[in-house]
């Protein structure tokens, strides 16, 4: 059974930083591309960054230059470093295989507010 556990969210002021973590079980990051998604209240879940099996990364225009995805394959953990946070980044953040193939975890809430 594939499970994801996201952590690291919280309340941060605009311009601040957070680092999210996602630990996975039942799936190997050496075999599948992984991604971060987010869902703001009243909006659909959206993809924001992915990392391929080979380690290449890409991110959505809305976060490009501010968010960085990385991973530790030995620990089967994927990270999202978020800098220069804005109010519009407020959302619940989730990880999943790129394409969202598996059931979603509980996510971690990020709130950007002064």
How many residues would you count in the chain?
114
pLDDT digits (tens, 9 = 90+) for 4-58: 999 999 999 999 999 999 999 998 888 999 999 999 999 999 999 999 999 999 9
SS3 of 5-43: EEECCEEECCCCCEEEEEEEECCCCCCCCEEEEEECCCC
Angle (nearest 5°) at CA 66 between 51 and 38: 60
* Three-class secondary structure of residue 52 per DSSP: coil
User: What pLDDT, on a 0 to 100 scale, did the predictor assign at position 60?
Assistant: 97
pLDDT in tens, 44-96: 999 999 999 999 999 999 999 999 999 999 999 999 999 999 999 999 999 99
Query: Which pLDDT score, from 0 to 100, does residue 100 have?
Result: 76
Contact 105, 5 (CB under 8 A): yes
Name the average pLDDT for the chain.
95
């Amino acid at each position: 059974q594939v499970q994801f556990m996201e952590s690291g969210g919280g309340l941060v002021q605009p311009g601040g930083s957070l680092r999210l973590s996602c630990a996975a079980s039942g799936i190997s990051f050496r075999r599948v591309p992984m991604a971060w998604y987010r869902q703001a209240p009243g909006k659909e879940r959206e993809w924001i960054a992915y990392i391929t099996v080979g380690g290449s990364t890409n991110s959505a225009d809305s976060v490009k230059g501010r968010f960085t995805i990385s991973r530790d394959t030995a620990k089967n953990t994927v990270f999202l470093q978020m800098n220069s946070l804005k109010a519009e980044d407020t959302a619940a953040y989730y990880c999943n295989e790129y394409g969202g193939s598996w059931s979603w975890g509980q996510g971690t809430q990020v709130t950007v507010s002064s």
